[in-house]
Amino acid sequence: MFPFNWPAEELSARDFMLLELQFCRTMFYFLPCESVQFVTGEELSGKDADQNLDKLEYSETCKAGVRLVRKERQPVVNEGGTVLFLPIWQNETVIAVAVLLGGSSVKYGRYSAEWLYERSRLVSRELRKIKQWAFDPESGLLAGRQLRENIETLLYLESRTPGRDGDDLEGGKGKEDSQGGWSVFLLEIFPKASNSGQSSGDIARAAACLNSFLGDLLPLNHFGSGLFGMLWNSESSEKFRSLGYALLRKLKRQNFSRVHIGIAAVTLPEAEEREYDFSEIADGVMTEAWASLKVARGRGPFALCSASGELASKIFRKPVPQTVRSLQKLWRSKKRFSVVFVQKDGARERDADFSKRLCTLVGEQGVVFPENSIEAYIYLADLDGQESLVWLDSLRGRITELGDSTYSMGVASFPCARFSKADTLINARKALAHTAFYGQGTATVFDGVTLNISGDVYYNEGDLTSAIKEYKLGIKLDPDNINLMNSLAVIYAQVNRYHLAIPLFEKVLMLDPKDFMALFNLGFAYLQRKDLVNALHYFEKSLAVDDTYFDLLLQLGQIYCSLEKYQKAVDILTKAENTVPVSPASVEGKSWQTKGDGDTGKDIGQGLVYTYLGQAYEGIAEKKEAMAYFQRAIGYNPKDAESLSRLGSLYLEEKQGNDIALSLCRQAVNVEEANSLFWLRLARAHVAVKNMPEAVKSLQQCLIFDRRNTEALLMLAGLYKKMGHKHKAVLAYKRVLRLDKKNKRALSALK
């Protein structure tokens, strides 16, 4: 089948969500306004339209205007002339109502009813054209150019309405309040294919997988060649990275071989005059995201990079050269010393007297080397880490007496493992990052935990090489530190070095047999190596420790389905369906596979539960329940090929409609062409509607992808016999016997 498809021109309620930014900007072009909001769906039609409208948090003015448009089928202006309710048409049906807020400078009452009606029809036609333009025929997702246009629209809206509120529409909460903190994600899932058909199939599978994870939470775009993009709004860069790592984890578990993510912020540059070239700025955002993606490619098979990810370089930056030269002279002949990195707590304003005050407080025992107006190194000769802490206690006492602001301090000593004297300076900075966990005015000595924290900083920025180095150094300092071993093993698993990850997880379990994440990650490591016995063993042991972890329940249910333990699958997946996905408290703040997905407000991948529940109920012969769950899975992700194919097969078995079954099975092969079982089910659907030639073609496709499928060969032979092609039937039966010499059906047919 031709692998590309184009969406119908008709608009749907879902389009007003997926294409909201483009639709809003189009309204700005056709009519003067400050803000636009669309009312769609069940609030406009059906016997319960009024009740559905009342449930929404709109002002009474808004509800009254929408009701009047629905009744009169004409544009409506409120009494003050500041709000316009414009019908959006699908042929002769009002599919949506655009609510335009004009503000103090716009009076819609001065426009004639005829002119507003003409605008209504013109806008409706334009929105339909935007929908056709916006979708990518290969993946079925929104096209990449539409993401680029959305970035430009976001910048445009930010520049013109920085403080706008929407009291007339939503009772005081403006829609634009949430537009700060947007970032663009570029995801590269490169298809491994030998021809364009296989490439399109791989891209469609990747698109369906991403759609299944995200649903309508984050509308996806496809640029081509397996490069996907999306926009997300969050208050912190940490949540952007959390979402990125959750996607990497989910896609790895769906057997994609390489996935890379680049992230860039969507922000307007600082300018005295608010005159912007939005197209140029949007191009700059895309360039930043692309540059981040290129960096991510060099960080391993599953890696990300954020354009704003500069935390490690700021926290662990090298001291100024003059400080290094001065300290080298002091420690050259010393066999033991400590370095304290001091930072003034509180506001980051310049403090011209900081270094003088610190020198006065330190006295003669230490030597102060200022780095800037709020940071400095203190050199302590002949003191180790614990002795330095005692000395720092007395320093804090002097600080308190003077009533000065507090200082946080990180301490590193020499000798320490295999670290050089020069390493002591960076180690002191890392110790200060460790100190931040204990609050202002505290001091911490560099140790294995410090390296776990610094490793997490590098990991969160996607620098896996540096993270591995930090964790390995930490284990040398603290060989029995479970957190360090878990962190290092997780990265090894991420870069497919399971021969290194598995022994580390096993060592963790020797020290703590009930460590949840070691049990869970060890199970997943064995699963990736196709060792279902060990994978199941460790997943079940994890379940005994914590039976509320969504990812575990989903993974365990999937394995039970593959092992045909369907009743167990039903039990565990029903629990997953009803479980709020949160990470165990014991792994709060860990990286990659220990990160929860709840940061997005909705667990990505939850739609897969419905697919596996459908399979499980089908396995225990409760076919009505199975059909219901497959329908839910398709509702969550219309391109869930597995659910489409299985649901079509069940429609045939239950005699619920052969034409529907044929349509569902055909959709499945359109999404995932290389699955032989999908073609076999499509062949059965063609037989059911008595289309034997198409059934033969489907079986031939099935055998291209699975040449040893005896069921398909037997069915093909039977069809050839019915169609009068006796010679072809004989050849097909003989082919079955070459695969299975004792096949009774083939032997009987040949006799």
Provide mean pLDDT across the span 53-82: 81
pLDDT band at 735 (very low <50, low <70, confident <90, very high): very high
Q: In what order do the strands lie in the sheet with 35-40?
A: 35-40, 93-101, 83-90, 76-77
Predicted local distance difference test score (pLDDT) of residue 57: 62
Provide mean pLDDT across the span 554-583: 86
Strand pairing report for 220-224 and 142-143: parallel
Predicted local distance difference test score (pLDDT) of residue 222: 87
Provide mean pLDDT across the span 297-309: 81
Predicted local distance difference test score (pLDDT) of residue 556: 94
Terminal-residue alpha carbon distance, the chain: 37
Predicted local distance difference test score (pLDDT) of residue 215: 60
Predicted local distance difference test score (pLDDT) of residue 355: 72
pLDDT band at 142 (very low <50, low <70, confident <90, very high): confident
Predicted local distance difference test score (pLDDT) of residue 9: 63
pLDDT band at 197 (very low <50, low <70, confident <90, very high): low
CA distances 312 to 67, 204, 316, 458, 487, Å, are: 56, 37, 6, 6, 18
Q: pTM for the complete prediction?
A: 0.72
Strand pairing report for 182-188 and 93-101: unpaired
The pair of three-digit structure tokens given for residue 614, joined into one six-digit string: 């459908």
What tens digit of pLDDT does each residue of 506-557 get?
A: 999 999 999 999 999 999 999 988 899 999 999 999 999 999 888 899 999 9
Which among 54, 45, 127, 116 has a CA at the least distance from the CA of 85? 116
Predicted local distance difference test score (pLDDT) of residue 494: 85
Burial class, 351, CB count within 10 angstroms (exposed 0-12 / middle 13-18 / buried 19+): middle
What tens digit of pLDDT does each residue of 100-109 get?
A: 988 777 889 8
pLDDT band at 628 (very low <50, low <70, confident <90, very high): very high
Element (H, E) at 720: helix 710-722
What tens digit of pLDDT does each residue of 11-23 get?
A: 877 788 878 888 8
The pair of three-digit structure tokens given for residue 631, joined into one six-digit string: 């329908």
CA distances 594 to 7, 549, 585, 587, 597, Å, are: 39, 11, 10, 6, 10
Query: Can you tell me whether residue 371 is helix, strand or coil?
Result: coil
Percent of the chain exceeding pLDDT 90 equals 37
Residue 580 pLDDT more than 70?
no
Residue 170 pLDDT more than 60?
no
275: amino acid identity, one letter: E
Taking all residues of the chain, what is their mean pLDDT, rounded to a whole number?
82
Other Cβ atoms less than 10 A from the Cβ of 656: the count is: 14
- Could you give the domains of the chain? 15-134 (3.30.70), 148-168+176-309 (3.30.70.270), 314-460 (3.30.70.270), 546-637 (1.25.40), 638-750 (1.25.40.10)
Which among 725, 692, 667, 689 has a CA at the least distance from the CA of 1? 667
Predicted local distance difference test score (pLDDT) of residue 598: 36
Contact 538, 552 (CB under 8 A): no
What tens digit of pLDDT does each residue of 339-379 get?
A: 999 888 775 556 666 777 778 777 777 888 888 888 889 99
Predicted local distance difference test score (pLDDT) of residue 734: 92
C-alpha atoms less than 13 angstroms from C-alpha of 590 in its C-beta half-sphere: 26
Predicted local distance difference test score (pLDDT) of residue 164: 40
Q: Which residue has the higher pLDDT, 4 or 284?
A: 284
Predicted local distance difference test score (pLDDT) of residue 195: 67
Instruction: Go through the chain and tell me how many residues it has.
Output: 751
Predicted local distance difference test score (pLDDT) of residue 371: 83
Q: Minimum mean pLDDT among 64-68, 171-175, 359-363, 685-689: which range?
A: 171-175
- 160-174, 212-226, 516-530: range with highest mean pLDDT: 516-530
Predicted local distance difference test score (pLDDT) of residue 104: 75
Provide mean pLDDT across the span 562-583: 83
DSSP single-letter state for residue 89? E
What tens digit of pLDDT does each residue of 384-395 get?
A: 888 888 888 888
Residue 122 pLDDT more than 90?
yes
Q: Minimum mean pLDDT among 155-169, 352-366, 584-598: which range?
A: 584-598
Predicted local distance difference test score (pLDDT) of residue 357: 77
